Amino acid sequence: MLDDPDVSIVIVTWNSADDIRACLTGANASLGSLRGEFIIVDNASVDETVNEINRAVSEGVHNINVILNNFNSGFAKACNQGILVSKGRNILLLNPDTEAAGDCIELLNRKLESDRNLGAVAPQLRNPDKSVQHSCRSFPEFRDMWLEFTMLPSLFPENRFLSRWKMGYFSHSEEMTVDQPMAAALLVRGGLLRELGGFDEQFVMFFNDVDLCKRIYEKGFKIIFTPDAVMYHEKGASVKKRRTEMIDAWNEDCIRYFRKHFDKPVQTSLLGPALKASGAIRKIYHKAIS
């Protein structure tokens, strides 16, 4: 329909009062000439998130649909709630801890519309200090997991073999076809995303974006990273609030991903204990520095 928006912006919030107003005002400004709608799914925040959304409305952000969950349903399920009611030709999956720079969303939409082979397009993410965030990765394989346990990829991040998964060698300063950009800000063709059913809800918090990008490629589309569009991103803002719990969630979703996409039960069964052991070490480390 002519009245349908060009872009639906789907945001999942959980105690996001510190970030959501800047996210909304920045995204609204970066739409340019596009018709946009905002769909916010709140996972039972107990802070001032809803009040901050109302403040954004009073400051000129309109066409907002707020869905209030009475419990925390997890990221994937909440995001799918937003996708289900979206009407846009394209859908921007956006984290509340992001802030669009310039005409970012308009640039992303123009790029996506320029090539029918594109299924999704991602912007360059920057830290609050304006440094470039490494947000793109290759699809993980078992060998990448085993290498991570050795810490060699961290010691030699620019080595293309050791750092194949996390792409430490990629400067993120040039346009490139990539496997999986971080879904903190990812513009996807609306018809494609709806056909895929959004995120696979077995992935509660992590690897849902990896799985989604893999399914986009399986449909015959490709994904582009473009540094022409810029988003500022407070990386891990939600994760930092529940660090220990998130380590366990990451490990569980990692196992789910490998079970789904690889028919290698022996390697998968070995990966579980290895992740549990590394998770215990990470918990001790984060407790020591907190």
Q: Is the predicted pLDDT of residue 239 greater than 60, yes or no?
A: no
Three-state DSSP at 256 gives helix
Each residue's pLDDT tens digit, 65-106: 999 999 999 999 999 999 999 999 999 999 999 999 999 999
**Residue 1: what pLDDT?**
46
| Count of domains observed in the chain | 1
CATH number at residue 31: 3.90.550.10
- In this prediction, residue 279 has a pLDDT band, given cuts at 50, 70 and 90, of confident
C-alpha 238/C-alpha 245 separation (Å) is 11
215 occurs within a structural domain:
yes
C-alpha 130/C-alpha 132 separation (Å) is 6
Length of the chain: 290
Quick check: 16 and 45 in contact, CB under 8 A? yes
Q: Is the predicted pLDDT of residue 238 greater than 70, yes or no?
A: no
pTM: 0.93
Quick check: 73 and 104 in contact, CB under 8 A? no
> Which structural domain, as residue segments, surrounds residue 126?
7-135+172-235
141 occurs within a structural domain:
no
211 occurs within a structural domain:
yes
Structure tokens at 147: 């290498």
User: How many other CB atoms sit within 10 Å of the CB of residue 134?
Assistant: 17
Mean pLDDT, range 167-179, rounded to an integer: 96
